[in-house]
Structure 1
Amino acid sequence: MARRRKGRAVSGWLVVDKPAGITSTAVVNKVRWAFDAQKAGHAGTLDPDATGVLAVALGEATKTVPYITDALKAYDFTVRFGAATKTDDAEGEVTKTSDLRPSDAQIVEALQGFVGEIEQVPPAFSAVKVDGERAYALARAGEETELAARPLWVESLLLTDRPDADHAQLEMVCGKGGYVRSIARDLGEALGCHGHVLRLRRTWSGPFVAEDGIGLQVLDDEAKSPDLDRFLRPLEEGLADLPQVTCPDASLAKLRNGNPAMVIVPGGTQIDYGDEVWASHEGRAVAVGRLMGGEIHPARVFVNG
């Protein structure tokens, strides 16, 4: 007999406005504890000193995590010019310095080279794995590692403020796997003055925005209370970027058992053969899968859908 999970079978998304000084994993653990949830996970790590949107999925919503992880995200951050650091942020040891400071026009021109499909080398202190080990663990041990460049889609990268010659405030919208610290590092190199991240905030991630997030104090104050559930958002919000089809009554049992079944495509909706979609019944998610010949072939089925 399978061991029963401890905790409540609660499902949904919680948007946390993460403060600085705590890891993403620690936030997820706190959320799981506060809700007494059986299962929890997050969609996109934030550095410990970063703030902003950390979308935490509970229960069945964890099945929608990949769709938020793959969604566009926006970051507001400040670059400090004149110094490169080992960690590419203000916490690391300074490795290079420069007295050169770029003009606003030079920054704007340089930013154009970081928009679109770019290649980005992750920071040495990152969670990227090298021969099975985390890069940050190797870096802390003093080992030199050469990380491979990775493709990144940058939708936009704008200069939004220039408080003084030493600092520039930027806003970036990018896809999965973007490292803001790498952007700051590479921008400083492109400008010939070195640079690192001084402050970083994720303002939105897919459908979730920082202004809707709750703080950790709320979790502490209302932990284990039924009132905390009012902050949960439907798991269906994690599927916002996928086309929605409708599961008729006759197909419900088949889909819930993981079998292909006929669905109804809303009029005017353009869905190509083989596209990934999600099926709903009375507004609740039933399954995610590929639409082929009027049938959805499920890859994920929602138990409480």
Structure 2
Amino acid sequence: MGRRGKKKGRPVAGWLILDKPWDFGSTEAVGKIRWLFKADKAGHAGTLDPLASGMLPIALGDATKTVPYVMDGNKVYRFTATWGEERTTDDLEGEVSGTSDKRPTRAEIEAVIPDYMGVIEQVPPRFSAVKIGGERAYDIARDGEEVEIPSREVEIHRFDIVDCPDEKTTVFEVECGKGTYVRALARDIGRQLGCLGHVSELRRVAVEPFSEAQLVPLETLTALEEIEDQDERLAALDEYLIDIGEALSMLPRLEVSSDQAQRIRMGNPVIVRGRDAPIACDEICAFQAGRLVALGEVAGGEFHPRRVFSSAGQ
């Protein structure tokens, strides 16, 4: 009999709402957090470009099972559009691909914002992670090839002008659904107004269901590396983790007993009792004493688990 492989990390579980610094990749950030927490697995809920800062929710351990729910949540971005130049990447990283002497007034910008509200058609930037024929668009673009990206529907819930510090720049805040490219908004508004434009600063301030108040700066975490005792250091880091269940706050909740929780974790259904118990529900969370037990459905008076969560961790 072969020997079992050594575990790569500890089974810590929970969400860390990282305030990702500028010029730091999302994959790099996940790797850093996984290393700091000595976690056995980690993932993030929505890539942030290296030139963007702000909220990058990172899931550790069992929290990775809830990543799709956070990915589907609304996002809030605050960004600065610089007028007069269009760039190949639609942000500061790219080369200048077009210029204009026109500078839009606030009234002109306000007049076109309604065109970008609700469900709209948007063509993602050439330098984006969208797949074209199995390849990432940015890989095709970096090879110098022309890439035709089809438009797709995205949803904009809120689009506000925050400030107009000068004629060349406008600061916006936008709340949008999954798959929206803020860079494309600046590009398209610039083209519509004839002034051309690109994003010169971008920050994600919220990812539903998390809020800006939950952000943890990377330097706050790396400062704890000075604690020599590993157990003490890891305990200090774990204080910044958010319970897995918070990622599922948009779903209905079912309280179960400790005996029921044990049955559920073994993959078995349990009878749902009580005057307010749901008769049927396609997607519901089972909790026991405030801890997430499983995701599942209620049918025929029973809770049937689909995804079970360990009793360990956050």
TM-score (norm 2): 0.91
Identity %: 47
**Change in 2 beyond 3 A, CA 1:294/1:184:** farther
1:232 partnered with 2:241: yes
**Which runs of structure 2 are paired with 1:193-204 in the superposition (5 Å)?**
193-204=195-206
Paired position in structure 1 for 2:35: 33
Do 2:294 and 2:309's aligned partners in 1 also have CA atoms closer than 8 Å? yes
Say whether 1:73 aligns with 2:75: yes
Give the Å deviation of 1:273: 3.9
Q: Which residue number in structure 2 is paired with residue 101 of structure 1? A: 103
Q: CA deviation at 1:304?
A: 2.0
Among 272, 278, 284, the alignment partner of 1:277 is 284
Deviation of 1:260 (Å): 2.9
1:88 counterpart (90, 96, 115): 90
Give the SS at the match of 2:239: helix
Distance in 1 of aligned mates of 2:304 and 2:115: 41
Contact residue 43 and residue 58 of structure 2 kept, 8 A: yes
Aligned to 1:288: 295
Cα gap change, 1:156/1:265 in structure 2, threshold over 3 Å: closer, same or farther?
farther
Tell me the equivalent position of 1:243: 252
Q: Secondary structure at the match of 1:20?
A: coil
Determine if contact 1:15/1:54 at 8 Å carries over to the other structure.
yes
- Asked if the contact 1:60/1:304 (under 8 Å) is kept, the reply is no
Return 5+ residue gaps in structure 2 as ranges. Answer: none
Residue 265 of structure 1, CA deviation: 7.4
Q: In structure 1, the residue corresponding to 2:245 is in which secondary structure? A: helix
Q: Do the aligned partners of residues 299 and 160 (structure 1) sit closer, same or farther apart at CA in structure 2, a change above 3 Å counting?
A: same
Aligned equivalent of 1:111: 113
Q: 1:302 — aligned with what?
A: 309
Using the alignment, how far apart are the partners of 2:179 and 2:73 within structure 1? 10
Q: How many residues align structurally?
A: 303
1:151 maps to what in 2?
153
Please tell me the residue identity of whatever aligns with 1:300: R
Deviation for aligned residue 1:60: 0.7
Q: Superposition RMSD on alpha carbons, in Å? A: 1.9
Q: What 5-or-longer segments of structure 1 have no aligned partner?
A: none
Amino acid at match of 1:6: K
Contact 2:20 2:54 in 1 (8 A): yes
Shift of 1:148: 1.6
- Shift, 1:249, TM fit: 4.0
Distance 1:46 1:272 in 2: 41
Tell me the CA shift for residue 295 of structure 1. 2.5
Contact 1:34 1:222 in 2 (8 A): no
Code of the aligned partner of 1:205 = V
1:293 positional shift: 3.4
**Aligned equivalents of 1:274 and 1:145: distance in 2?**
44
Q: In 2, are the aligned partners of 1:245 and 1:264 still within 8 Å (CA)?
A: no
CA contact (8 A) 1:248 1:264 kept: no
Distance 1:283 1:51, change over 3 A: same
Letter of the 2:262 counterpart: A
Supply the distance in 2 between the matched residues of 1:155 and 1:303 (Cα, whole angstroms): 36
**8 Å CA contact retained: 1:202, 1:210:** no
Contact 1:153 1:174 (C-alpha < 8 Å) held by counterparts? yes
Distance 1:126 1:298 in 2: 37
Q: Deviations over 1:159-217 (max 9, x none)?
A: 11111111111111111111111111111122221111010001111132334322222
Shift of 1:128: 1.3
Structure 1 segment 149-188 matched on structure 2, within 5 A: 149-188=151-190
Structure 1's 296 and 4: CA in aligned 2 closer, same or farther, altered over 3 A? farther
Deviation string, structure 1 residues 197-238 (Cα, Å, up to 9, x no partner): 010001111132334322222232224512111111111111
> Partner letter of residue 130 of structure 1?
I
Are the counterparts in 1 of residues 42 and 58 from structure 2 also a CA contact under 8 Å? Answer: yes
Deviation string, structure 1 residues 60-100 (Cα, Å, up to 9, x no partner): 11111111111111000011111111000011111111111
Tell me the amino acid that sits aligned with residue 208 of structure 1. F
